[in-house]
Amino acid sequence: MRRVFHKLESGKMVTPVYIFLLIYTIMALVWWGVLLFRQSDQITGYERENLAMRIDSTQQPMQYHLAEQRITKNEELRTFKFLGEGAIFLLILLVGAWLVYRAIRKQLKLQQQQQNFLMAVTHELKSPIAAAKLNLETIRKRKLDEEKQHKLIDNTIRETNRLDQLCNNILLASQFESDRNQLFREDLNFSDLLQAGTDEIEARTNSHTIVTDIQPGIWLNGDKFMLQIVLSNLVENAIKYVPKGTEIRVLLFEKDRLLKWQVIDAGPGIPAGEKDRIFQKFYRIGNENTRSAKGSGLGLFLTRKIIEQHNGTIVVKDNAPAGTIFEITLGEYSAQTA
């Protein structure tokens, strides 16, 4: 019994139990219909017997015929009523069942994603801490030359940055969840912000080349910290999912009086069916057991939320011949000409 409850809780038995209940309810409805039709037949039989006792068909054939017609009509009306009511019940039942099934599936999927998230986050939290600890212990224990020391310190800073990004993402996700997130807007030189942010990431990345083509003098009223998170999420994703040595491009330009901000890579790309889903909370493409790149599935969820708060949109397109283009469109900005 305990095992059954456990299976129910974990969602494994929900579908069979659900299908059983649905079939049982439909069969009960059909049986109810059969009983009503039988009852209707009986009523017609009694009415006919009663008619035969009341009116003699040979002496009053006209009256008998009229009464007989009324009995048949009543039976037809009952049949129509039962079929109509049955069909409406069945329709309500099926629509309800479909809605419940959708809700259960959504719930189970979310549960699974949260479980994956917990596993991934635990690993993501532990691995940078372990790496930083090891690096610091090595520096303390051994007499290393300056170059090696620098290497270890750089590595430690990289790991703490990863940790910092993850913590920011988790905190922000919980703020968005409870609608507590507010932007601290200010007028900022967005071109400079993007250039400085990309330069900073480029400086600590030795696996990829990051190229920028940023139109200067673009100002907008936005939240500096949030926009930095968007840049970091998109570029860090490209670094994470794209083969080493390839180029990542960060572009900012005006098109048709709109501001376009693109992060382009030449990686594996994102399959058509996944393009919308990657923006869902905790969603990660593929299977948790086979996936090698670690993550929380929060980055793009937050990115979209932040861009929406800035009254913008984000879409993902295919890059040619391969790779991904994340394109953000913002309408509220001003461009200064030199």
Residue from the set 237, 259, 306, 307 that interacts with ligand ADP by CB under 6 A: 237
| Interface residue with ligand ADP, options 231, 296, 306, 325 (CB under 6 A) | 296
Binding mask 154-193 for ligand ADP (x = CB under 6 A): ----------------------------------------
Span interacting with ligand ADP, options 53-61, 67-75, 138-146, 234-242, rule CB under 6 A: 234-242
Question: Which positions from 193 to 232 touch ligand ADP by CB under 6 A, shown as an x/- string?
Answer: ----------------------------------------
The one-letter amino acid at 229: I
Rounded Cα distance between 85 and 292, Å, is 56
Tokens of 266: 């030449």
Pairing of strands 334-335, 258-264: unpaired
Tokens 């290393």 belong to residue: 144
Whether residue 304 contacts residue 279, with contact meaning beta carbons closer than 8 Å, is answered with yes
In the list 16, 45, 217, 268, the residue contacting ligand ADP (rule: CB under 6 A) is 268
DSSP code string of 80-118 = HHHHHHHHHHHHHHHHHHHHHHHHHHHHHHHHHHHHHHH
DSSP code of residue 332: S
> Edge-to-edge, what's the strand order for the sheet holding 186-189?
186-189, 218-222, 334-335
Whole-number CA gyration radius for the chain? 34
Looking at 36-44, 94-102, 155-163, 264-272, which segment touches ligand ADP (CB under 6 A)?
A: 264-272
- Rounded to a whole number of angstroms, the minimum distance from the CB of residue 299 to ligand ADP is 3
Q: Are strands 186-189 and 247-255 parallel, antiparallel or unpaired?
A: unpaired
- The region of 51-59, 101-109, 281-289, 304-312 touching ligand ADP under the rule CB under 6 A is 281-289
Amino acid, res. 117 = F
The stretch among 10-18, 26-34, 181-189, 261-269 that binds ligand ADP (CB under 6 A) is: 261-269
Can you tell me which of 132, 300, 314, 328 binds ligand ADP, judged by CB under 6 A? 300
Q: Which residue's entry shows tokens 């998230």? A: 117
Q: Contact residues for ligand ADP (CB under 6 A)?
A: 233, 237-238, 241, 265, 267-268, 270, 278, 283-285, 295-301, 324
